[in-house]
Amino acid sequence: MPKYHSPLMEFKYKFIMDEKLLSKYLEYAGTEEALAVLFVKKNINKAKGYWVDISDCRRYDMSKDDLHFRFVNGGLYKRKIKPQYPPKSAFTVNGKFEEREYYLAIRAITWETAHRDIELQKRKRVKAVNFKITGVSYDKNRGNKNYFRSDAPQEIKALADNLSDRTNPLWDRAVAYVNKPEFVYKIKKIQIG
pLDDT digits (tens, 9 = 90+) for 48-99: 999 999 999 999 988 889 999 999 999 999 999 999 998 888 888 888 998 9
* Contacts of residue 85, Cβ cutoff 8 Å, sequence gap at least 6: 105, 106, 109
Grouping H, G, I as helix, E, B as strand and the rest as coil, residue 54 is strand
Taking each helix axis from N to C end, the angle separating 19-29 and 99-123, rounded to the nearest 10 degrees, works out to: 80
Beta-bridge partners for 138? 184
> From CA 108, how far away is CA 188, in angstroms rounded?
32
Residue 76's H or E segment, with its range, is: strand 69-78
> Rounded to an integer, what distance in angstroms lies between the CA atom of residue 131 and that of residue 82?
23
What single letter denotes the amino acid at residue 12? Answer: K
Q: Are strands 183-192 and 50-59 parallel, antiparallel or unpaired?
A: unpaired
- Give the pLDDT of the chain (193 residues) as one tens digit per residue: 444 444 444 445 445 547 888 889 999 999 999 999 999 999 999 999 999 999 999 999 888 899 999 999 999 999 999 999 988 888 888 889 989 989 999 999 999 999 999 999 999 999 999 999 999 998 888 888 889 998 999 999 999 998 888 889 999 999 999 988 888 999 999 999 8
What does the pLDDT read at residue 180? 87
Report pTM.
0.74
HSE-up of 80 (CA within 13 Å, CB side)?
14
Q: What pLDDT does residue 2 have?
A: 41
- CA–CA–CA angle 102, 85, 23 (5° rounding): 55
End-to-end CA distance of the chain: 51
